[in-house]
Structure 1
């Protein structure tokens, strides 16, 4: 009977492990989410593992041995409870698969504002001023357009100081 188990993979080798495990008729699943993040000051959309270095696998231990799965390239070991690999409830996997790329989940992970969006600065030297988001400035800062002395001025502020209106 096929059961789900949790594997710990070597760093950044989940893709390699999937390819090698699927050749052995092992079903693999590692939830991924699409996130927007800043890379070198530019907004990039990328798929990232929800649980880095962890993967769910489903196989019949009578047909494929634990040792074979554990020895596969990219795999470090099973997550164990005592001497035996820990079984994972299928309901948990079903729930993860249903929520993996839901719109609500994606919205939580992608919280960068869009250019032209109206914001309010809640801390720092520009506290209380209304600003218009312009573009990212590194990983933790953004350029905002504020009105100072009747003229628009482009300033760089910490992302933690910004609140959407």
Structure 2
């Protein structure tokens, strides 16, 4: 009888583990989420795992493959265990996560909102608190910074911001 288990994978190797496990007829599931981030100074939408380094797998260890075979798959570190045996995951939890997955595909914005406080982490204004105003192209943003007791609007490189 097939049961769900949770695997811990090497960092960033979830897709590789899923590919190799699929070849062994092991059903894999790891929910992903779209997030808007600043990468290399530009706003980009990236797909990230909801649970980094974890993959849910569904298989029957009696019919094959064995726990050892799954654990030895490229990209996999080990099963999540309680004691000596891999912990079983409730199928209802997997069903709920799979039902929730379409909502996760909507882009979540990681950029600050207008009026949100941010800290400048690099550049000539490093260490100063600022208030986010609006984007200035793809790689810069307008910030409101208090200089000599007066608010001044400046364009600062996105990679210099601490979100």
The alpha-carbon deviation at position 94 of structure 1 amounts to: 1.2
After TM superposition, list the pairs within 5 Å mapping 1:1-165 onto structure 2. 1-63=1-63, 64-102=65-103, 106=106, 109-112=108-111, 119-120=114-115, 132-135=133-136, 142-144=141-143, 153-156=153-156
- Call closer, same or farther: CA 1:136–1:53 in 2, change over 3 Å: farther
Q: Distance in 2 between matches of 1:54 and 1:67?
A: 18
Deviations 1:37-80 (A, max 9, x none): 00011011111111111100000111221111111111110000
The alpha-carbon deviation at position 153 of structure 1 amounts to: 4.4
Secondary structure at 1:20's aligned position in 2? helix
The alpha-carbon deviation at position 134 of structure 1 amounts to: 2.2
Deviations 1:96-147 (A, max 9, x none): 11222416x846x42426xxx8x336687777xxx74023897xx842479x
- Call closer, same or farther: CA 1:93–1:145 in 2, change over 3 Å: same
Counting matched residue pairs gives 144
Secondary structure at 1:120's aligned position in 2? coil
Q: Distance in 1 between matches of 2:116 and 2:96?
A: 38
Structure 1, unaligned runs of 5 or more: 147-151, 161-165
Q: TM-score, structure 1 length as denominator?
A: 0.72
Aligned to 1:149: none
CA RMSD of aligned residues (A): 3.2
Q: TM-score, structure 2 length as denominator?
A: 0.73
Structure 2, unaligned runs of 5 or more: 119-127, 146-151
